[in-house]
């Protein structure tokens, strides 16, 4: 996909990967629609763009099914059509399953899975009309390799990955492409909420700008999926071919991490 001149809607654009990706897409000539819950955060993102005047702001809470129902009309009212939809917004809550509230599970499924499904369905006619439409779903390595204490989050990202594969096949004849992206841990405000687990498991965190460049490169080459370079590619292959071996490795890692976790975070 040629990025210069396209109209691109990025959800979760007020911070983290969404902000960095909006900046990167604008640098490559795209005209972003910045979607998020907080106008001030979206204005802060817009101020960083190469051409702020070319960007639009759309305040919308993706956890609100009623608000999602208005998205097609609101995007159409902005003018300029829609060439690219980036489903990036997400929430993560890490905790032992026995101590995690059901409301946390519900919000993760709502924002991480149901919201992308809902807004994609509503925006599909606009993407099809562009003649070069693409849906980009930002998942996680936890959508391939499930980690203890991230069970519900992993479930939502596994779901997003599966839905992306099915959607790709379903819209193939509509002229709409689908790219699934699976970043590893990223240094975003969301990561602050599970910093104890990052330290205990010795997770590698990438800068959001690095992740954004990789996603933008993937979009530019119409990639089927975008995974980080390095050992993670091997881990994904092992997960699919030798899952029991991965079980043993992660359980050992969990036991070693337990001694470094705060007592309130232990199972």
Catalogue the active-site residues: 153
Residues 6 or more apart in contact with residue 156 via CB below 8 angstroms: 90, 108, 109, 112, 113
Q: For residues 41 and 58, what is the distance between their CA atoms, to the nearest angstrom?
A: 11
Coil, strand or helix at 224: coil
Q: Quick one: which of 35, 33, 20, 126 has its CA closest to 89?
A: 35
Cβ burial, residue 61 (10 Å; 0-12/13-18/19+)? middle
User: Is 40 within 8 Å of 28 (Cβ atoms)?
Assistant: no
Q: What are phi and psi of 52, to 5 degrees?
A: -55, -35
Q: At what angle do helices 151-170 and 115-130 cross, to 10 degrees?
A: 30
What is the DSSP annotation of 162-197? HHHHHHHHHTGGGT-EEEEE----B-SGGGGGGHHH
């Amino acid at each position: 996909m040629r990025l210069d001149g396209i109209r691109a809607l990025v959800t979760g654009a007020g911070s983290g990967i969404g902000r960095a990706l909006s900046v990167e897409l604008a640098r490559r000539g795209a005209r972003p629609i910045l979607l998020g819950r907080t106008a001030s955060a979206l204005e802060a993102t817009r101020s960083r763009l190469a051409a702020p005047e070319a960007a639009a702001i759309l305040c919308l809470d993706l956890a609100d099914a009623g608000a999602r129902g208005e998205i097609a009309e609101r995007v159409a009212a902005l003018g300029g059509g829609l060439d690219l939809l980036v489903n990036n917004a997400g929430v993560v809550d890490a905790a032992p399953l026995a101590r995690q509230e059901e409301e946390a599970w519900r919000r993760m499924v709502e924002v991480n899975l149901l919201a992308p499904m809902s807004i994609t369905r509503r925006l599909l006619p606009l993407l099809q009309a562009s003649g070069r439409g693409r849906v980009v779903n930002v998942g996680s390595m936890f959508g391939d390799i499930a980690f203890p204490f991230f069970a519900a989050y992993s479930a939502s990202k596994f779901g997003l990955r599966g839905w992306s594969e099915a959607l790709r096949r379903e819209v193939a004849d509509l002229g709409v492409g689908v790219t699934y992206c699976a970043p590893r841990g990223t240094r975003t405000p969301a990561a602050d909420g599970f910093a104890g687990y990052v330290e205990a498991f010795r997770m590698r965190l990438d800068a959001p700008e690095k992740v954004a460049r990789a996603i933008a490169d993937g979009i530019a080459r119409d990639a089927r999926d975008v995974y980080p370079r390095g050992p993670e590619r091997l881990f994904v292959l092992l997960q699919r071919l030798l899952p029991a071996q991965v079980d043993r490795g992660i359980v050992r890692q969990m036991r070693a991490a337990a001694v470094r976790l705060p007592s309130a975070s232990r199972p």
